[in-house]
């Protein structure tokens, strides 16, 4: 029996995780679930999974959840705040933590799980992008096992040699990690229409059903850029060892190319329950509720190179990855602010990359040696990005 905490339980990844867990009540017990504002959804989950704790980080939602819990006669204890997140992520009773909070807000609880030496099922890519080597070193130091849940990295994890040692790419005969991406909803949209694209259009992904932030990132391909940085750290490879390949069907979830010419790919439905189930059961395999691929029904498989004029955010992320840790922390922070402003209809779709680029140009490339410093860099990058957006809205 494995005891699991789910950070960000009410989100797209969180709900999919609970869906897989519900299929295996003999294998998994839920210790804690967390949400930001969605009190009602969290309480419904608590009624179904009877966790010991349910945590809310929004004060109003916490009050609402307490009332609902009394009405429902729940045994689950309702907790409030970021300290409580850290506590349920690191509690002695917990075996594995699903890190599925979106954005920088997930960093500290994810780090708490890492420092407590948990199995960390990492969906929250921003946490790793922000901290890179610090995160990886903490995992090594505290003996935490990081299993990538992001479908591309989960695919690569599955396609790497079983005895792969962190960073030993060339010794193991690996030529390249091939990171696939669908190109998002605007793969074929004329470039001259980009300025007028709306949040709802950006969030309508052709293959994946995801939260709004990652959906916008997929439309700008900042998501692939963050994943590029994520791959660099997860597998200990250089930027030159990673190549982005557009594959609009999203059936191949990523590949490893070897020096003898072999390519090993992981394929499946575009359904996050597959990597989630893999992470939960590793090294075993369990039913994920996902239908099997029917090769007689699969249409064309196509592949192209991404056009950087269409996806300037991807180019920015690859450049930041090569520039170093401060740049990736700054880019991630600026992007969170820019995406928020786009979703609030304060800036245009094409402004997201402009804000990110201007913020990177204005910020200093300092060396980063602690999580505290990461938080400070993140904070100043947010201030700069907000100023740029304000200036743009005024002008
Ligand atoms: P989502 O927006 O659907 O859910 C986010 C969850 O985080 C919710 O439970 C929400 O309550 C919680 N949350 C939001 N802000 C918070 C805050 N300030 N403090 C505490 N909790 C907060 O997001 P998602 O699509 O499930 O994505 C979650 C993470 O997984 C992201 O980092 C995303 O990049 C990554 N990911 C998602 C998918 C996907 O298919 N959805 C695929 C790969 C990776
Ligand atoms: Mg992904």
**Token couple for 118:** 């948990």
In this structure, the answer to whether residues 50 and 108 fall within a common structural domain is yes
In this structure, the answer to whether residues 9 and 143 fall within a common structural domain is yes
Q: Which domain holds residue 369?
A: 324-394
- Looking at residues 95-124, what average pLDDT do you find? 98
In a domain, 228, yes or no: yes
- 354: burial class by Cβ within 10 Å (0-12, 13-18, 19+)? middle
User: Does the beta carbon of 272 lie inside 6 Å of ligand 1?
Assistant: yes
In this structure, the answer to whether residues 12 and 113 fall within a common structural domain is yes
Mean pLDDT, the chain, as a whole number? 97
Ligand nearest to the CA of 103: 1
**Last residue within a domain, chosen from 224, 246, 269:** 269
In this structure, the answer to whether residues 41 and 141 fall within a common structural domain is yes
> What is the model's pLDDT at position 9?
98
> What is the model's pLDDT at position 205?
86
In this structure, the answer to whether residues 335 and 259 fall within a common structural domain is no
* Spatial CB neighbours of 187, under 8 Å, sequence gap ≥ 6: 246, 248, 310
Ligand nearest to the CA of 215: 1
pTM of the shown model: 0.98
Ligand nearest to the CA of 210: 1
In this structure, the answer to whether residues 175 and 102 fall within a common structural domain is no
In this structure, the answer to whether residues 101 and 162 fall within a common structural domain is no
User: Does the beta carbon of 117 lie inside 6 Å of ligand 1?
Assistant: no
Give the Å distance between the CA of 60 and the centre of ligand 2.
32
Q: What digits encode the pLDDT tens for the residues 71-82?
A: 999 999 999 999
User: Does the beta carbon of 350 lie inside 6 Å of ligand 1?
Assistant: no
User: Does the beta carbon of 215 lie inside 6 Å of ligand 1?
Assistant: no
The ipTM of this complex is 0.99
Q: What digits encode the pLDDT tens for the residues 303-325?
A: 999 999 999 999 999 999 999 99
In this structure, the answer to whether residues 131 and 164 fall within a common structural domain is no
Cβ atoms 64, 40 nearer than 8 A = yes
**Last residue within a domain, chosen from 106, 129, 148:** 148
In this structure, the answer to whether residues 25 and 123 fall within a common structural domain is yes
> What is the model's pLDDT at position 208?
84
Dist. CA 349–CA 267, nearest whole Å: 31
User: Does the beta carbon of 130 lie inside 6 Å of ligand 1?
Assistant: no
* Spatial CB neighbours of 204, under 8 Å, sequence gap ≥ 6: 185, 215
Find, among 278, 168, 161, 154, the residue nearest to 227 by Cα.
154
In a domain, 23, yes or no: yes
Atom of ligand 1 nearest to the CA of 223: 34
Q: What digits encode the pLDDT tens for the residues 258-282?
A: 999 999 999 999 999 999 999 999 9
Cβ atoms 381, 334 nearer than 8 A = yes
> What is the model's pLDDT at position 395?
78
Q: What digits encode the pLDDT tens for the residues 320-364?
A: 999 999 999 999 999 999 999 999 999 999 999 999 999 999 998
In a domain, 316, yes or no: no
> What is the model's pLDDT at position 209?
87
- Total tally of structural domains belonging to the chain: 3
Cβ atoms 146, 120 nearer than 8 A = yes
**Model confidence at 207, in pLDDT bands (50, 70, 90)?**
confident
In this structure, the answer to whether residues 210 and 139 fall within a common structural domain is no
Atom of ligand 1 nearest to the CA of 213: 2
In this structure, the answer to whether residues 185 and 143 fall within a common structural domain is no
**Token couple for 1:** 């029996």
In this structure, the answer to whether residues 134 and 264 fall within a common structural domain is no
**Model confidence at 393, in pLDDT bands (50, 70, 90)?**
confident
Binding residues: 10-13, 124-126, 150-152, 182, 205, 211, 218, 223-224, 227
Ligand 1: residue of 12, 151, 203, 336 to mutate (most ligand atoms within 8 A of CB) is 12
């Amino acid at each position: 029996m494995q005891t699991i905490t789910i950070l960000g339980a009410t989100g797209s990844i969180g709900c999919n995780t609970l869906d897989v867990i519900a299929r295996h009540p003999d294998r998994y017990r839920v210790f804690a679930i967390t949400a930001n504002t969605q009190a009602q959804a969290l309480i419904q989950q608590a009624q179904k999974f009877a966790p010991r704790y349910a945590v809310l980080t929004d004060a109003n939602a916490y009050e609402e959840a307490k009332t609902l819990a009394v009405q429902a006669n729940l045994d689950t204890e309702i907790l409030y705040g970021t300290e409580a997140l850290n506590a349920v992520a690191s509690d002695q009773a917990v075996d594995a933590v699903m890190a599925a909070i979106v954005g920088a807000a997930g960093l500290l609880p994810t780090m708490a799980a890492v420092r407590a030496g948990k199995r960390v099922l990492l969906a929250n890519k921003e946490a790793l992008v922000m901290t890179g080597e610090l995160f990886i070193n903490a995992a090594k130091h505290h003996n935490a096992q990081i299993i990538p849940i992001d479908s591309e990295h989960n695919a690569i994890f599955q396609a790497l040699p079983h005895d792969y040692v962190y960073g030993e790419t060339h010794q193991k005969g690996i030529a390249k990690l091939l990171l696939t991406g669908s190109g998002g909803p605007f793969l074929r949209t004329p470039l001259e229409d980009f300025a007028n694209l709306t949040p709802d259009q950006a969030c309508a992904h052709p293959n994946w059903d995801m939260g709004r932030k990652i959906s916008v990132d997929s439309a700008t391909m900042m998501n692939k850029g963050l994943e590029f940085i994520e791959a660099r750290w997860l597998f200990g490879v250089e930027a030159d060892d990673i190549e982005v390949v557009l594959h609009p069907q999203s059936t191949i979830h990523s590949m490893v190319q070897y020096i003898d010419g072999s390519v090993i790919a992981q394929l499946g439905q575009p359904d996050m329950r597959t990597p989630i189930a893999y992470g939960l059961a590793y090294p075993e395999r369990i039913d994920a509720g996902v239908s099997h691929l029917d090769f007689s029904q699969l249409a064309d498989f196509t592949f192209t190179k991404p056009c950087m004029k269409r996806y300037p955010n991807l180019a920015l992320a690859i450049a930041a990855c090569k520039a170093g840790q401060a740049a990736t922390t700054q880019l991630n922070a600026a992007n969170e602010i820019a995406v928020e402003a786009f979703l609030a209809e304060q800036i245009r779709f094409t402004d997201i990359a402009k804000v990110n680029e201007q913020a990177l140009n204005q910020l200093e490339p300092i060396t980063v040696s602690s999580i505290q410093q990461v938080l400070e860099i993140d904070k100043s990058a947010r201030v700069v990005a907000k100023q740029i957006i304000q200036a743009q809205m005024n002008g």
